[in-house]
């Protein structure tokens, strides 16, 4: 029994010593017993909306005021045909060469959607049985070529269904991805598009599409948008490079102006390379890997 008492005293000694320390330093004990303060963590940013992304890339290209001031847009598409378009009035000029080397000029109003206009071959009016073919062809060329040039400015057009599909990394670059479908607008409203915006620049640097006449399970065709630079008040990318193929589309003779001579939209005389635009190559539809995408709307 004595031994048992001694063992008990020895084993409880440290406990009593610790208790005395706590009594001697009550402030320390309270600090130690006080629960640690938990700092609130930063809340994650809410996910971007499709409209916010569309607005952000518009700002990166100069903003809505700059786009609204870009009246006359002139360019040559893929060394084939030259356009000049008055966004405020709808007037449009298309110039190029036929397969037999004759220069054609088509003067029309885009708002008529290819129903009326005038057309000339080597400065002379075309025959009445050819007129509709030329005017409709000019409208279809405008639909195709301006969409390849201007789609980032048309993301919020009427008839566009815009959906944010999150981030995606392609070829080592992380993009914000938007999907586009259409409500019965354009020439082929069943087409589907995806645009890829680089958050580091705010610019659309890639797009992809599956056309309405393709199997829905087809892999999208991807193109890079390269060479972004300023033309007049807005930013444009003059080069398209197909991913995984040796194909390019170049926009040349790009000009974005407040004013151009009225003769651009009224004169049948070929402008040629020394005029408002160049005319190079032959008029022909894009090859199969460059099908005409639809514009979301025909609005200006």
Q: What is the average per-residue pLDDT within 68-84?
A: 97
Asked if 6 and 82 sit in the same domain, the reply is no
Asked if 133 and 251 sit in the same domain, the reply is yes
Domain-embedded: residue 237: yes
Asked if 160 and 62 sit in the same domain, the reply is yes
User: Treating both helix axes as pointing N-terminal to C-terminal, what angle do 26-33 and 2-24 enclose, rounded to 10 degrees?
Assistant: 90
Asked if 18 and 99 sit in the same domain, the reply is no
Q: Looking at the predicted structure, is the pLDDT value of residue 72 above 90? A: yes
Instruction: Specify the pLDDT at position 186.
Output: 72
Task: Provide the number of structural domains found in the chain.
Answer: 2
pLDDT tens track for 86-104: 999 999 999 999 999 999 9
Asked if 126 and 20 sit in the same domain, the reply is no
Asked if 14 and 157 sit in the same domain, the reply is no
Q: Sorting pLDDT into bands at 50, 70 and 90, what band is 58?
A: very high
DSSP summary character for residue 208: E
Q: Is the pTM of this model over 0.85?
A: no
CB 58 within 8 A of CB 68: no
Asked if 16 and 54 sit in the same domain, the reply is no
Instruction: Specify the pLDDT at position 130.
Output: 95
DSSP summary character for residue 231: E
Domain-embedded: residue 286: no
Instruction: Specify the pLDDT at position 16.
Output: 36
Instruction: Specify the pLDDT at position 125.
Output: 97
Asked if 119 and 153 sit in the same domain, the reply is yes
Instruction: Specify the pLDDT at position 45.
Output: 55
Q: Which helix (H) or strand (E) holds 139?
A: helix 128-150
Contacts of 154 (CB under 8 A, 6+ apart): 147, 160, 295, 296, 297
pLDDT tens track for 158-212: 999 999 999 999 999 999 999 999 997 777 787 999 999 999 999 999 999 999 8
Asked if 194 and 92 sit in the same domain, the reply is yes
Q: What are phi and psi for residue 79, nearest 5 degrees?
A: 60, 25
User: What does the mean pLDDT of the chain come to?
Assistant: 81
Q: What is the average per-residue pLDDT within 113-137?
A: 95
Q: What is the average per-residue pLDDT within 27-53?
A: 60
Instruction: Specify the pLDDT at position 48.
Output: 77
Q: Looking at the predicted structure, is the pLDDT value of residue 296 above 70? A: no
Q: What is the average per-residue pLDDT within 245-274?
A: 91
Asked if 140 and 226 sit in the same domain, the reply is yes
Asked if 145 and 23 sit in the same domain, the reply is no
Domain-embedded: residue 296: no
What is the domain range of residue 15? 2-30
Instruction: Specify the pLDDT at position 195.
Output: 98
Asked if 22 and 161 sit in the same domain, the reply is no
Q: Which helix (H) or strand (E) holds 130?
A: helix 128-150
Instruction: Specify the pLDDT at position 221.
Output: 97
Domain-embedded: residue 215: yes
Q: How far is CA 176 from CA 54, 62, 95, 110, in A?
A: 10, 19, 37, 33
Among 97-106, 119-128, 265-274, which stretch is predicted with the lowest mean pLDDT?
265-274
CATH number at residue 252: 2.50.20
């Amino acid at each position: 029994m004595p031994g048992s008492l001694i063992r008990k005293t020895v084993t409880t000694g440290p406990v009593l010593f610790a208790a005395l320390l706590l009594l001697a330093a009550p402030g320390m004990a309270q600090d130690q017993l006080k629960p640690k303060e938990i700092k609130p963590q930063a809340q994650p940013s809410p996910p971007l909306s499709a409209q916010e992304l569309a607005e952000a890339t518009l700002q990166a290209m100069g903003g809505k005021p700059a786009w609204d001031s870009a009246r006359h847009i002139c360019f040559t598409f893929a060394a084939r045909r030259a356009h000049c378009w008055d966004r405020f009035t709808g007037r449009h000029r298309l110039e190029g060469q036929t397969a037999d080397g004759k220069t054609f000029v088509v003067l029309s109003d885009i708002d008529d959607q290819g129903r009326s206009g005038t057309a000339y071959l080597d400065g002379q009016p075309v025959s009445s049985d050819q007129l509709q073919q030329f005017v409709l062809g000019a409208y279809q060329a405008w639909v195709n070529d301006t969409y390849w040039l201007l789609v980032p400015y048309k993301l919020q057009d009427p008839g566009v269904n815009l959906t944010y599909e999150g981030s995606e990394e392609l070829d080592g670059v992380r993009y914000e991805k938007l999907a586009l479908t259409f409500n019965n607008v354009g020439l082929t409203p069943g087409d589907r598009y995806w645009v890829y915006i680089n958050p580091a620049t705010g610019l659309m640097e890639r797009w992809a599409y599956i056309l309405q006449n393709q199997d829905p399970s087809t892999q999208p065709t991807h193109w890079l948008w390269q060479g972004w630079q300023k033309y007049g008040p807005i930013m444009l990318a003059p080069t398209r490079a197909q991913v995984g193929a040796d194909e390019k589309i170049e926009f040349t003779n790009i000009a974005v102006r407040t004013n151009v001579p009225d003769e651009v939209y009224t004169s049948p005389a070929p402008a040629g390379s020394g005029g408002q635009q160049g005319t190079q190559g032959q008029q022909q539809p894009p090859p199969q890997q460059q099908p005409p995408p639809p514009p979301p709307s025909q609005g200006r």
